[in-house]
């Protein structure tokens, strides 16, 4: 019998940096989520100490009057994550509201955060503008960055995945942490941005794919629904009929083809679109078929998970239990530093 101890690589013994990312439960995942976040989350859970949370309190900043939607949306998001390959054995998956200490720390951080810091965050005014028909000029939306900071620091998050255009969004969290640590000592971990590629996925109208714009293709949509949605996508306005030369570089359909098709097929589409040999209807039907096949394993896995609905409660309960010791340790240090213990 071989009694030699198994070798351990440096990667096995090295402590993995803790990374945190959260999702507001706004409804089913769409293609923009998939290529912008989900694929990255699958990579993060293999390379880092990953914490993924469902930001149901953040949802209240804009949907405080639609709370009846929350239970089903949370359940749906957990099922989507599991079907997409998010593994609770690799990552800590939990619900924000299962950690009541988040509210306590948000209150305490609010005591030291200048109002001007929150008012200067550009996304606050952007949200007010984009959702002008809704009554959302509330403290919850203004204090969104404060709650975000709490989510990160309460679990000692070291890295936060962001695109290059989002680094500034994390800076206010870093400023709040630095101010707290100057006042009370080095208690909170200052998060660092983890730059990640987040391609801009166009919707049917050419704008960024979004549920609020109703221009999206859901990853769990049925094949007929996917085909119907792809048919509505705008294309090159100068390519009106078969034979007209097209400009694939400005066409949302071509952008999606580059995600779902092999390079040789993308090159064929590029050449035949420019020559006019490929029509937009044919191109759309080809893309729809590829999207249907790409997400077939996801749809099948999700249907399988739906037959065991108790799995959602099990995942969330397990995640809450895993995150609790970390949260309690953070809050004990915070209360002690602020002479509240």
**Through-space distance between the first and last CA atoms of the chain, rounded to whole angstroms:** 55
Tokens representing 305?
A: 């998970």
Q: Specify the range with the lowest mean pLDDT, choosing from 83-87, 208-212, 234-238, 252-256.
A: 208-212
Taking the alpha carbons of 30, 31, 37, 38 in that order, is the dihedral positive or negative? Answer: positive
What is the per-residue pLDDT for 2? 36
Mean pLDDT, rounded, for 112-119: 92
Taking CB atoms within 8 Å and a gap of at least 24, the contacts of 328-337 are: 328/101, 330/101, 330/105, 330/153, 330/154, 330/155, 330/156, 330/188, 331/101, 331/104, 331/105, 331/154, 333/187, 334/105, 334/108, 334/184, 334/187, 334/188, 337/184, 337/185, 337/187
Given a cut of 80, whether residue 3 has pLDDT beyond it is no
What is the percent of the chain where pLDDT is above 90? 78
17: helix, strand or coil: coil
Mean pLDDT, rounded, for 2-30: 69
* Chain segment 232-289, per-residue pLDDT in tens: 999 999 999 999 999 999 999 999 999 999 999 999 999 999 999 999 999 999 999 9
What is the per-residue pLDDT for 72? 96
Residues paired with 51 in a beta bridge: 20, 92
What is the per-residue pLDDT for 9? 38
* Chain segment 293-304, per-residue pLDDT in tens: 999 999 999 999
Count Cα atoms within 13 angstroms, Cβ side, for 231.
7
Given a cut of 60, whether residue 143 has pLDDT beyond it is yes
Written as one string, the DSSP assignment of 58-108 is HHHHHHTT-GGGHHHHHHHHHHHHHHHT--TTTSEEEEGGG-THHHHHHHH
325: helix, strand or coil: helix
Confidence of residue 131 (pLDDT cuts 50, 70, 90): low
What is the percent of the chain where pLDDT is above 70? 93
- Using CA atoms, how far apart are residues 313 and 318, in angstroms rounded to an integer? 8
CATH number of 10-201+309-337: 3.40.50.620
User: What is the pTM for the complete model shown?
Assistant: 0.89
Contact by Cβ (8 Å): 142, 124? yes
Contact by Cβ (8 Å): 216, 30? yes
CATH 1.10.240.10 residue window(s) in the chain: 223-294
- Using CA atoms, how far apart are residues 235 and 246, in angstroms rounded to an integer? 9
What is the per-residue pLDDT for 6? 35
CATH 3.40.50.620 residue window(s) in the chain: 10-201+309-337
* 223-294 placed in CATH 3.40.190.10: no
Average predicted confidence (pLDDT) for the chain: 91
| CA triple 178-179-183, angle to 5 deg | 115
Given a cut of 70, whether residue 155 has pLDDT beyond it is yes
Given a cut of 90, whether residue 13 has pLDDT beyond it is no
What is the per-residue pLDDT for 139? 82
Between these two residues, 183 and 59, which has the higher pLDDT value?
A: 183
What is the per-residue pLDDT for 166? 75
Given a cut of 90, whether residue 212 has pLDDT beyond it is no
Mean pLDDT, rounded, for 63-87: 95
């Amino acid at each position: 019998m071989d009694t030699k101890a198994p070798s351990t690589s440096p990667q096995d013994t090295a402590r993995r940096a803790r990374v945190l990312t959260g999702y507001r439960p706004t409804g089913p995942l769409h293609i923009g989520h998939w290529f912008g976040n989900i694929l990255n989350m699958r990579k993060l859970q293999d390379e880092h100490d990953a914490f993924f949370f469902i930001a149901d309190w953040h949802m209240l900043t804009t949907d405080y009057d639609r709370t009846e939607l929350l239970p089903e949306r949370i359940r749906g998001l957990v099922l989507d994550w599991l079907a997409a390959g998010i593994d609770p054995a690799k990552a800590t998956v939990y619900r924000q509201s299962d950690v009541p200490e988040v509210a306590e720390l948000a209150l305490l951080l609010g005591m030291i955060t200048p109002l001007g810091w929150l008012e200067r965050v550009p996304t606050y005014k952007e949200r007010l503008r984009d959702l002008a028909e809704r009554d959302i000029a509330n403290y919850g939306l203004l204090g969104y960055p404060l709650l975000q900071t709490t989510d990160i620091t309460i679990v000692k998050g070291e890295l936060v995945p962001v695109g290059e255009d989002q680094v500034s969004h994390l800076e206010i969290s870093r400023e709040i942490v630095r101010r707290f640590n100057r006042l009370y000592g080095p208690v909170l971990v200052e998060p660092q941005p983890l730059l990640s590629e987040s391609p801009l996925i166009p919707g049917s109208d050419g704008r960024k794919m979004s549920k609020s714009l109703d221009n999206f293709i859901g990853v769990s949509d049925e094949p007929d629904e996917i085909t119907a949605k792809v048919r509505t996508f705008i294309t090159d306005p100068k390519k009106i009929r078969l034979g007209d030369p097209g400009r694939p570089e400005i066409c949302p359909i071509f952008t999606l083809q580059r995600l779902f098709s092999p390079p040789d097929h993308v090159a064929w589409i590029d050449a035949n679109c420019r020559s006019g040999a490929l029509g937009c209807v044919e191109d759309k039907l080809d893309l729809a078929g590829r999207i249907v096949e790409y997400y077939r394993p996801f749809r099948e896995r999700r249907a399988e998970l739906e037959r065991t609905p108790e799995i959602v409660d099990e995942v969330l309960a397990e995640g809450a239990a895993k995150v609790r010791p970390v949260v309690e340790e953070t809050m004990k240090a915070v209360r002690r530093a602020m002479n509240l213990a």
